[in-house]
A and B are shown apart, each in its own frame.
Chain A
C-alpha cells in the first residue's frame, strides 16, 4: 500500500531557510502536494507538483521532486514566524490523497 513519511519536527530561526522532507512509496503518484495546517484549523493547499517535473518555485516556496528516489522537499526561503505550522506532504493515487504524518515547523524569532 501507499506510505508517505515525514520527520516530525523542524526548528529554524527567523530569516533562515526551512527545508521539509518527505518520502513516498507509490510510483504511480501523479501529483504531490504540500499542505499547511495552522493551529486549530483545516488544511490549506500551499503548492503541488506534477510528477513529470523536477522543481517548482512559487515566491518563497521551492518544491523539489526526485522521482527516482521518491523524495519530495519543500524549501521556505526567509522563514517568518507566521510560517510556524504543521506541513503535510501528500500524494494522489486515483481519487485518494495519502498524507504523511506532518512536520511541525517552529520558527524562533
Chain B
C-alpha cells in the first residue's frame, strides 16, 4: 500500500534561519508531488508541484523553494525564513485525477 511521510511534525525556527522540510512517498512510482501551505484560519495555497524528478513548478513567488532529488522525495526549503512563512505545510501526492493523498503536515512557527 502507498504511504506518505512528512517530517518534522512541528518546528520552531528563528527569523533568518534556513528551512528544510522533507516528504517521501512509498508504494508508488512517478507520483505527482505537491507542497501546500495553510495559514492560520485560511484555506490551502498550492506552493509547488512536481510531475517528475527535477521538474518543479512554482505557483506563487515567495521566499521558499522546492526540489525533487529522487522520484519519491520532495523537499521544501528556504535560505532565510520570514515571520510570514509561519503556517501549516502539507505535502501530497497523486497518480491520477481521482484523488490526492496528504501527509500529516508540519506546523512551522517562525519567531
B107 neighbours in A (Cβ, 8 Å): 40
CB distance from B5 to the nearest CB of A (A): 11
The verdict on A101 contacting B102 (CB below 8 Å), with A31-B97, A95-B49 known, is no
Instruction: Convert B23-52 into 0s and 1s, putting 1 for each residue whose CB lies closer than 8 angstroms to a CB of A.
Output: 000000000101010000011101001010
B32 neighbours in A (Cβ, 8 Å): 95
Interface size, chain A (Cβ < 8 Å): 22
The verdict on A48 contacting B99 (CB below 8 Å), with A41-B105, A95-B32, A100-B43 known, is yes
A92 neighbours in B (Cβ, 8 Å): 97
Q: Which of B44, B99, B103 contacts A45 (CB 8 A)?
A: B99
* Bound: A72/B6 CA distance, A: 31
Q: Which of B42, B90, B97 contacts A42 (CB 8 A)?
A: B90
Q: Is the interface of A mostly helix, strand, loop or mixed?
A: strand
A-B residue pair count with CB separations less than 8 angstroms = 53
> Is B83's beta carbon under 8 Å from chain A?
no
Q: Is the CB of B104 within 8 A of A42?
A: yes
A30 neighbours in B (Cβ, 8 Å): 97
Q: Is the CB of B94 within 8 A of A97?
A: yes
Instruction: Convert A15-42 into 0s and 1s, putting 1 for each residue whose CB lies closer than 8 angstroms to a CB of B.
Output: 0000000000000001101010000111
28 residue pairs A–B, Cβ–Cβ below 8 Å = A31-B98, A33-B99, A35-B102, A40-B105, A41-B104, A42-B6, A42-B90, A42-B92, A42-B103, A43-B90, A43-B92, A44-B102, A45-B99, A45-B101, A48-B99, A92-B97, A95-B97, A96-B49, A97-B34, A97-B46, A97-B92, A98-B46, A99-B36, A99-B43, A99-B44, A101-B42, A101-B43, A102-B42
Q: Which 8 A-B pairs have the closest CB atoms?
A: A101-B43, A42-B102, A99-B44, A43-B102, A92-B97, A45-B99, A42-B104, A102-B43
Which B residues form the contact surface with A (CB < 8 A)? 6, 32, 34, 36, 42-44, 46, 49, 51, 90, 92, 94, 97-105, 107
Which A residues form the contact surface with B (CB < 8 A)? 6, 30-31, 33, 35, 40-45, 48, 88, 92, 95-102
Q: In the complex, given contacts A95-B94, A99-B44, A102-B44, what are 5 additional A-B residue pairs having Cβ atoms less than 8 angstroms apart?
A: A30-B97, A48-B99, A95-B51, A97-B100, A102-B42
